[in-house]
Structure 1
Amino acid sequence: MSNPGMGGQPPVAPKKPKDTMKTLSRLLKYLNKYWFYIFISIISIAFITLGTVYATRLIGVAIDKHIATADFNGLAKVCITLLAIYLGTSLCTWLQNYLLLLVGQNVVASIRKEIFEKIQRLPLKYFDTTTHGELMSRVTNDVDNISMALNSSISQVFQSALTIVGTLAMMIYLSIPLTLAAIVTIPIMLVATKAVTSRSRKYYKEKQERLGKLNGHIEEIISGQKVVKVFCQEDEMTQTFSNRNTDLLEVGVRAEIFSGMIGPIMMALNNMTYAIVVATGGLMMVMGLPMTLGTISNFIIYSKQFARPLNELANQVNSMMAAFAGAERVFEVLDEPEEPKDTIDSVELKEVEGDVVLSNVNFSYEEGHPILKEVNLYAKPGQTIAFVGPTGAGKTTIINLLTRFYDIDTGSITIDGHDIKQIKRKSLRSNLGIVLQDTYLFTDTIRENIRYGRLDATDGEIKEAAKLANAHEFIKRLPDGYDTVLSDGGGNLSQGQRQMLAIARAILANPSVLILDEATSSVDTRTEVKIQEAMHNLMKGRTNFVIAHRLSTIKDADLIAVVNHGEIIERGNHDELMEKKGFYYNLYRNQFETDVAV
């Protein structure tokens, strides 16, 4: 994306992946407030684990003491006990799933809220250097990956850990030799898991980054469909998408292949473990060592119960790796520098007169590449100051500095004698009204879009603002009038109608200082007359800063500042500048001759 006013910014350099344990630790902090739910869940999981381990042991007892001896009464008691245990573990499973699902959803909701609030505090520079699609990918895809992991993995991790501990304890209690036989393949499992997950994590991180780039491309193409079609670039854009989609496919396949290797590896090792346990137990019975058929049966089940948590943890690699990659990208946004906070001695603007002074202002978007150089300007209350000059001269940059979207490097900007750095941002901006060339309207009713200028405005005040903006007549002709719902960006209105609504919104806000950034450059002459009349109503009694391509629209300005290469090279009213026959004179003559020719 390009900087307002002057050229483009370099893309943000990719950041190195953060430490996995640090990311996990940061995620766990979100769980602190839900400790009671987690505690109850752990108790439930403990009961499930103990119940499952004990139930397995009862099966071995039933084989040795009741089935082998045809003790049907004892077998019936064991079956009733098993039924009670399985019912209890089922209830506890439901309870812990419900509680941890509740915790997971609340944590994700907190993360979404935190990142959305963070976006509101980020400086404009961040949005100038980050595509909307990339940011949306972090807010949606990456947060969804965290959600899936929390919903499915928290309970899995707890239950798997307790199952491993409980099963291992029972196995050691029954037979140390068979325990050693059952766990002999565990080191191989751990080494294989570590080798595979280290690779898959790398590819999942890269996958998320490429997905963000692909989403950014899609968002840009959807937003710029008219340009794509006008210049017949459908095939080229499709090819670009195909290339990026292929890049995503390649890294996605690598990630899935490596994570998908875990299951087959674990299955092979499990089958090997069963064989080793049966062979060891059978050998002990043949040799007359203490061993029973029921114990061997227990160990076959226990070895499965012991390996299953490892398998389940391994199968969580996909979601866990995606969650860590997503969490890192989300935390990168949360760690972005915010707009500097207001200082303790910041002041509130009250009854602003509109006395604006720029003194020796210097500014650069990128160090070493100055955009504005020693800009000096004085606007008296009620005056209209117009900025003219070629594209990229720095006109819009001056507006960005007035609104503190960016802070100046050196010099000062004051309003009514207060340096804007010492004014609370909210107070400063609430006293500024801005009407841009590219008007943004929300997907809501016309009434609410105008009310956005002042949320406590009455319907009567909204209509009055619309009348002053020359918007009332066309609004009345719409099927639902002021209750007409606008499509995305106001696409169901003309450019001129959208401008009139933006002016109505600014009128309703009643700012002390007004900024008009090329507000009529995209409309026809007839509509321009209506908009000019609306802007005249808006500009009454205010200090106005106007950026205009059509020089005929600012002939009556009190001061015209000609900006070129970041400097004000000429200043004066229209007549004075025409008499000088300098830069402005040539601009005006060229434009006038072009308009006449047209």
Structure 2
Amino acid sequence: MARNKFDVDEELEEGFNASHLKRIFVYIKPYQKPIYITLFVILLANIAQMAGPYLTKIVIDQTIPNQDYTELFWIAVIFILSVVVTGLCMRYRIFSITVIGQDILKDMRTAIFSHLQKLPFSYFDSRPHGKILIRVVNYINMLSDLLSNGLINLISDILSVIVTLGFMFAIDPTLTLYSLALVPVLFLIVMIIKTAQRKAYQVLSNKTSNMNAYIHESIAGIKVTQSFAREEKNFEIFSDVSDAYRESWMKAVKIQFLLWPGVQNIAVMTTCLIYYVGIRGLGVDVSTGTLIAFVGYVGNFWNPVINIGNFYNALITATTYLERIFETLDVEPDIKDLPQAKIMQPIKGNVDFNQVYFRYEKGKDILKGTDFHVEAGESIALVGPTGAGKTTVINLLSRFYDVNDGEILIDGENIRDVTLHSLRSQMGVMLQDTFIFSGTIIENIRYGKLDATEEEVIQAAKIVRAHDFIKDLKDGYHTEVKERGSTLSAGQRQLISFARTLLANPRILILDEATSSIDTKTEVLLQEGLEKLLEGRTSFIIAHRISTIKNSSRIFYIDNGQVQEAGNHDELMAQKGYYYQLYQAQFDLLQAL
């Protein structure tokens, strides 16, 4: 799969549809009870707020002309109570909505992060990690206002419109119809703007993703940048990426801001229309109090309509991010448990590759009928030219990928018929790319066995000869290391990673260039510790140093997708075949040095 880059826009594989909005309610459903309580409080606030204009009408048309001071007093008390009730309800609404919204966002963020843990290597190989990161952080955060305020506020505003219309129709139905005369104009404006706005925010989403990807890549490669004095060139590239983001943002907000003034102008024109109709008496006969009350209700009607318009704006914007989020959630893991998968019982370590075929790309087989049997407890070294399929063998055994044809058995059990967790939890894998997490050294070593005691950690470190340098650090095993272990040498990182793998006490041990960053002296000490550890375990070792694999039970020379030679070091040297040539080439190189 071709890798998407920071300067390539991501195309949506599937456009937006209404089901995306429906999927939001999957995350809202667990919070139905607090939402219903909040909506009841909002309805109570709306009713209390609507009392103001109606009380004003009574005072102007009835109380003041009749000089009824007792009635005026009680109306004032009712008015003050309505203001207090409205204030208390709004305070509860703000707090409740914020809590519910953030809980929903947390659930969505958890869902996408959990899903990412299950996706295959090919997904992460096909796009910059910055474009993946932005989905978990930025895009979810972009939905914050929509979910924290938007949805419940939308319902609140709809209730407000309904309650307001109820009061308006109760006072004067004809004047109410005049108040709604310009609503069709609003819908026309919305229909014109929505398509252009969504497209503009799709472009903005792409440019945001591109910029995030380039920043992430630049930070990850900062040492290389400074080593080759590329700062100025990288700044030029960043400027171009940043300019593209700025231009797309300006275009998107220009379109977005067209709606608000449109709704605002319609609201003002409606107020003017009410004054004109009320004063001229065009089909209506209203008192001064009624006219003033209606103007207040028109404001109460159009304010939530404006809010609904703003919500629609936010919704159109949010759909762009929802498309990206659900696109990620819809990516099916290539490697997953079959419906009938069972728990793999404790394994002995017999491994069989039966006529295994595998390809990363269509029409280009890496393994071509690979066939071999390994007895439990054997240590198998895999050697051969670059790209021959050595790493592919261990990736298939670990089920990071599935075979295209053939089968892989452990103790006679097809690894596709068991759960991934029960398989991988009994295997120790140390890949060529060593990764150290931020935290203490002891936490890094415990990564594969969280319940390990400190004594067990120290014992594993001693076996791989990591203990000697760890104990000399400032805080020993509790020394804090930075992300990727940047404060440690490459060899130290590999020793810690090796201890982490060994601590898991695997029945099958896989080492892919595990000693590539360890100096020769340390490697000799490491081999001494490994001899004891490898007893009784099945192990697969990939290494370019012949010294690392000479003592293996058997050596497989892999080339052209098959095992070309198999045997121990002495047997293969006697054959004077591929392995003999490889050994001689390394020996001659060492002699030349």
TM-score by shorter chain over 0.5: yes
Aligned: 1:359 with 2:359: no
Deviation per residue, 1:532-555 (Å, 9 max, x gap): 444444323322111112233222
Report the Cα distance in structure 2 between the residues aligned to 1:213 and 1:539, rounded to whole angstroms.
47
Q: Confirm or deny: 8 A CA contact 1:125 1:406 kept in the other structure.
A: no
CA distance in 2, matches of 1:160, 1:264: 19
Q: How many residue pairs were aligned?
A: 589
Report whether the alignment pairs 1:597 with 2:592: yes
Going from structure 1 to structure 2, the CA distance change for 1:393 and 1:146 (only over 3 Å counts) comes to same
Match of 1:158 in 2: 155
| Deviation of 1:12 (Å) | 11
Q: For 1:187-586, list aligned pairs within 5 A.
A: 187-284=184-281, 290-338=285-333, 339-344=335-340, 346-350=342-346, 352-586=347-581
- Output the CA distance in 1 between the equivalents of 2:573 and 2:173: 102
User: 1:33, CA displacement in angstroms?
Assistant: 2.5
Verify the 8 A CA contact 2:446 2:457 in the aligned structure 1.
yes
Residue type of the alignment partner of 1:340: K
C-alpha spacing 1:510/1:247, structure 2 compared with 1 (3 Å)? same
Instruction: State the secondary structure of the residue aligned to 2:117.
Output: helix
Local SS of the residue matching 2:517: coil
C-alpha distance 466-2 of structure 1, shift in aligned 2 (>3 A): farther
Bigger drift between 475-484 and 333-342 goes to 333-342
Matched to 1:454, the amino acid is K
Which digits, 9 at most, give the CA deviation of each residue in 1:499-518, with x for residues without a partner? 11122122221111111101
Letter in 2 for 1:110: D
Q: Secondary structure at the match of 1:151?
A: helix
**Hey, what does 1:56 align to over in structure 2?**
53
Residues 489 and 530 of structure 1: CA distance in aligned 2, closer, same or farther (over 3 Å): farther
The whole-number CA distance in structure 2 between the counterparts of 1:38 and 1:354 is 55
Letter in 1 for 2:385: P
Find the aligned partners of 2:22 and 2:519 in 1 and give their Cα distance: 58
Whole-angstrom CA distance in 2 between matches of 1:442 and 1:321:
39
Q: Deviations over 1:344-391 (max 9, x none)?
A: 3634232x3322111111011233232211111222222222222232
* Structure 2 match to 1:118: 115
Q: CA shift at 1:579, angstroms?
A: 4.5
Contact residue 511 and residue 542 of structure 2 kept, 8 A: yes
Structure 2 residue runs without a partner (length 5+): none
1:479-524: CA deviations, max 9, x gaps? Answer: 1111111111222211111111122122221111111101122333
CA distance in 1, matches of 2:28, 2:422: 37
**Structure 2 letter corresponding to 1:346:** K
Q: Distance in 2 between matches of 1:578 and 1:139?
A: 54
Matches within 5 A, 1:137-156: 137-156=134-153
Supply the distance in 2 between the matched residues of 1:359 and 1:585 (Cα, whole angstroms).
27
Letter in 2 for 1:349: Q
Cα distance 1:232–1:419, how it changes in 2: closer, same or farther (>3 A)? same
> What is the CA–CA distance in structure 1 between the aligned matches of 2:533 and 2:245, rounded to whole Å?
50
Cα–Cα, structure 1 residues 568 and 238, in superposed 2: closer, same or farther, change >3 Å?
farther
Does the 8 Å contact 1:112/1:143 carry over to 2? yes
Partners in 1 of 2:573 and 2:283 — Cα distance?
116
TM-score using structure 1 length: 0.92
Structure 1 residue ranges (4+ consecutive) displaced by more than 6 angstroms after TM superposition: none
Question: How well do the aligned residues superpose, as a CA RMSD in angstroms?
Answer: 2.5
Report which stretch shifted further, 525-534 or 159-168.
Answer: 525-534
CA distance in 2 between counterparts of 1:579 and 1:456 reads 48
Paired amino acid for 1:420: I
Measured after TM superposition, the shift of residue 290 of structure 1 is 1.8
Opposite residue 370 of structure 1, the aligned amino acid is: D
Query: CA 1:377 to 1:107, structure 2 compared with 1: closer, same or farther past 3 Å?
Result: same
Question: 1:146-202: CA deviations, max 9, x gaps?
Answer: 222111212320111011112122222222332233222211112112322222122
Task: Measure the CA separation in 2 of the matches of 1:306 and 1:17.
Answer: 38
Inter-CA distance 13–281: structure 2 relative to 1 (3 Å threshold): closer
Tell me how far apart the structure 1 counterparts of residues 436 and 487 of structure 2 sit (CA, whole Å): 11
Q: What CA deviation, in whole Å up to 9, does each residue of 1:190-235 have, x standing for no partner? A: 2112322222122223322332232222222212222223333333
Give structure 1 stretches of 5+ with no counterpart.
Answer: none
Q: What is the CA distance between 1:440 and its match in structure 2?
A: 1.5
**Could you tell me how far apart the structure 2 residues matched to 1:320 and 1:17 are?**
18
CA contact (8 A) 1:355 1:416 kept: yes
Please state whether the residue corresponding to 1:397 is helix, strand or coil.
Answer: helix
Q: Counterpart of 1:256 in 2: which secondary structure?
A: helix
Q: Which stretch of the first structure deviates more once superposed, 514-523 or 320-329?
A: 320-329
Q: Give the direction of change, closer, same or farther, for the CA distance of 1:13–1:156 in structure 2 (3 Å limit).
A: closer
Report which stretch shifted further, 459-468 or 396-405: 459-468
Q: Is the 8 A contact 1:97 1:155 kept in 2?
A: no
User: What letter is aligned with 1:88?
Assistant: V
Q: CA deviation at 1:259?
A: 0.9
Whether the aligned pair in 1 keeps the contact of 2:51 and 2:79 (CA below 8 Å) is no
Cα separation, partners in 2 of 1:318 and 1:567, compared to 1, 3 Å: farther
**Residue equivalent to 2:12:** 15
Change (3 A) 1:578 1:239: farther
